[in-house]
Amino acid sequence: MSDQAMPPERPRPDRPASGRFHPYVYRLLACLAAWFVISAWCFAGGGRTDLALTAVTGLFALMVGLPSLLALARRFHPPDPSGAREETTDRFEQWAERDVDLSTGPVKGKFAAIETALPIAAVAFGMTAFALVLHFSV
Divide the 138 residues of the chain into consecutive groups of 10 and give the mean pLDDT of each group.
55 62 92 94 81 91 93 83 58 91 89 94 96 90
Q: What is the pLDDT of residue 76?
A: 87
Q: 99-102 and 105-108 as β-strands: parallel, antiparallel, unpaired?
A: antiparallel
Q: What is the pLDDT of residue 127?
A: 94
The continuous run of DSSP H or E covering 85 comes out as none
Q: What is the pLDDT of residue 11?
A: 46
- Can you give the residue ranges of every domain in the chain? 20-74+100-137
Report the candidate in 55, 66, 56 with the shortest Cα–Cα distance to residue 34: 56
Q: What is the pLDDT of residue 16?
A: 60
User: What pTM does this model have?
Assistant: 0.76
- Residue 25 to residues 98, 111, 118, 137, Cα–Cα distance (Å): 14, 11, 12, 36
Q: Are 24 and 8 contacting, i.e. CB atoms less than 8 angstroms apart?
A: no
